Structure 1
Amino acid sequence: MLAVFAKATGKPPPELSLPSEVSGSYSKAPQEIVGAFQSLRPNSTVYNLPHGNFMALSHDEENPMHPRSIVVMNDIFCIFVGTLANIADLRHHYGLPRQSTEAMIVVEAYRVLRDRAPYPPDQVVKDLDGKFAFIIFDARTNTLFAARDREGNVEFQWGMAKDGSLVCSDDPNIIRDSCGKSSSSFPPGCIFMNGSGLTSFDHPLHKVRAIAQEDENGNISSVSFQVDLYTRIPSIPRTGSAANWADTAVVNGE
């Protein structure tokens, strides 16, 4: 699985670039990244999205315990990796047929939140019981939404391309080859949205901070992200209206 979002859409955390600023590690341009993915996985499917964004899926070297799938519904693109243990309950909750896949359920959850629900995304992601990582791109609103299960059971990495684009994949080798040291493991139990940034869905009122690791010479060698349970984000009353889901997420994710 691969997703590349231009800086205007994805705007990755600036801390992802810190190791490369010290080491001069090489990262690739988005077209190079997608081209390399296709050359290594000739049977892959690549979606050219608006604003210079890409999403791609291949079943090569797929973990049978964490299958990959992609679905496109009403201009909403979703790549889902893993499984949901409570899929039957979620189908019933959202009024979906029995043949609905995990990716379809996640898209429906996003669509309901965007269009009707009065509560923020962290409340719904908590209801997903399973081992998963997913990326949603809403082409109508240019909204990016990514998440990983709270235990980090499914491999999920992100990094920064040469031009500042956000790169996501379930293959660490892809991220390493594409982004060099400007990469990190996507933090478990977190969601990322353009406009509101990185948020813990179990602790939405606490900041997710970048932690820099240094080598023996004192240079930054890598960066990880962790929930800071000692720093609470000032609470802002929720408006009760989520006609614009992204605005609700911004209020609760800043």
Structure 2
Amino acid sequence: MLAVFEKSIGKPPKELILPFRGKSHLNSSREEIAEIYRLWRSDSTFYNLPNGNFLALSHEDENPAHPRSMVVMDGIFCLFSGYLLNAYDLRRYYGLSRQATEAMIVVEVYKVLRDRAPYPPDQVVKELDGKFAFILFDSKVSVLFLARDSDGCVQLHWGTAADGSLVCTDDPNVISASCGKCYTPFPPGCIFLSGSLLISVHYPFHKVRGISQEDDEGNINAVIFKVELYTRIHSIRRTGSAENWADVTIVEGE
């Protein structure tokens, strides 16, 4: 699955545009990224949106344990990879038919977040029990919603295109070819909403920061996403030892 959105919709975190000194970025344009995906995924279906934004789905090389699905409902587009263990219970709760896919369930869960504000987004994802990653776009309000389960069993990567657009995909080869060195895996157990911070499901009131690491030559070669446990959102950062931090994931810039 693939999604590319301009900065006004999916403003990427600053960690995705860190200056990888000594490295060539080689970021592709949105048009080039679409061609890369078409070339490598001949069965792909594209969903083109205004201003050059788009989503795409392919079932090629699909992991049977983590099937991909796509749904468009009421102007909401959802790409889903993985499975939900509590799909049966969620279908009953939201009044969906037994044929409703995981992507359909996620759309209904998102509507609760959108229509019952200020419903906490971390609570929305906590309702989903399984191994999954999804990319959801609400075209009515131009909101992009990304999430990945806490174990990180299903791949999801994000990076930046040549014009700064946000690129999201479950294909590590596509993200590398599209974004050069300006990409990382999306941190497990986290949520990203347009116009919001990166949020940890388990620590929703604490900041998630991307910490760059350098090799012996001073080149940035990795980013570590961590939850700063002793700093709450909208508060002043407290300095201290490494014990003040809780790891979300370690990501490599390959």
Asked if Structure 1 and Structure 2 have the same fold, meaning a TM-score greater than 0.5 normalized by the shorter chain, the answer is: yes
Q: 1:21 to 1:95 in 2, by over 3 A?
A: farther
Moved more, 225-234 or 55-64: 225-234
Q: RMSD in angstroms over aligned alpha carbons?
A: 1.4
The corresponding residue for 2:61 is: 61
The corresponding residue for 2:217 is: 217
3-state SS in 2 of match to 1:63:
coil
Tell me if the contact between 2:206 and 2:233 (Cα under 8 Å) persists in the aligned partners.
yes
1:18 equivalent in alignment to 2:18: yes
3-state SS in 1 of match to 2:108:
helix
Tell me if the contact between 1:183 and 1:223 (Cα under 8 Å) persists in the aligned partners.
no
Tell me if the contact between 2:112 and 2:119 (Cα under 8 Å) persists in the aligned partners.
no
- Paired with 1:115 and 1:22, the residues of 2 have a C-alpha distance of 47
- Paired with 1:224 and 1:31, the residues of 2 have a C-alpha distance of 30
The corresponding residue for 2:190 is: 190
The corresponding residue for 1:238 is: none
- Paired with 1:64 and 1:43, the residues of 2 have a C-alpha distance of 17
1:140-193 deviations in whole A, cap 9, x for unaligned? 100000000011110111111111010011111111000011000100000001
The corresponding residue for 1:92 is: 92
Q: Unpaired runs of 5+ in structure 2?
A: 236-254
Moved more, 220-229 or 73-82: 220-229
- Paired with 1:166 and 1:118, the residues of 2 have a C-alpha distance of 26
Tell me if the contact between 1:16 and 1:159 (Cα under 8 Å) persists in the aligned partners.
yes
The corresponding residue for 2:108 is: 108
Residue 53 of structure 1 deviates from its aligned partner by 1.0
3-state SS in 2 of match to 1:11:
coil
The corresponding residue for 2:51 is: 51
- Paired with 1:5 and 1:17, the residues of 2 have a C-alpha distance of 15
The corresponding residue for 2:172 is: 172
Q: 1:25 to 1:117 in 2, by over 3 A?
A: closer
Structure 1 residue identity aligned to 2:116: R
Query: Identical aligned pairs, as a percentage?
Result: 62
- Paired with 2:22 and 2:9, the residues of 1 have a C-alpha distance of 26
Tell me if the contact between 1:186 and 1:225 (Cα under 8 Å) persists in the aligned partners.
no
The corresponding residue for 2:152 is: 152
Q: 1:171 to 1:76 in 2, by over 3 A?
A: same
Q: TM-score under structure 2 normalisation?
A: 0.89
Structure 2 residue identity aligned to 1:121: P
Residue 222 of structure 1 deviates from its aligned partner by 2.3
- Paired with 1:201 and 1:180, the residues of 2 have a C-alpha distance of 29
Kindly report structure 1 stretches of 4+ aligned residues shifted beyond 6 Å: none
Alignment of 1:199-214 (within 5 A): 199-214=199-214
- Paired with 2:230 and 2:152, the residues of 1 have a C-alpha distance of 22
- Paired with 1:193 and 1:22, the residues of 2 have a C-alpha distance of 32
3-state SS in 1 of match to 2:31:
helix
Greater helix share, 1 or 2?
1
Residue 118 of structure 1 deviates from its aligned partner by 4.5
Residue 19 of structure 1 deviates from its aligned partner by 4.4
Aligned residues: 235
Tell me if the contact between 1:212 and 1:224 (Cα under 8 Å) persists in the aligned partners.
yes
- Paired with 2:117 and 2:99, the residues of 1 have a C-alpha distance of 24
Tell me if the contact between 1:159 and 1:167 (Cα under 8 Å) persists in the aligned partners.
yes
Residue 23 of structure 1 deviates from its aligned partner by 1.8
Residue 218 of structure 1 deviates from its aligned partner by 1.8
- Paired with 1:40 and 1:218, the residues of 2 have a C-alpha distance of 34
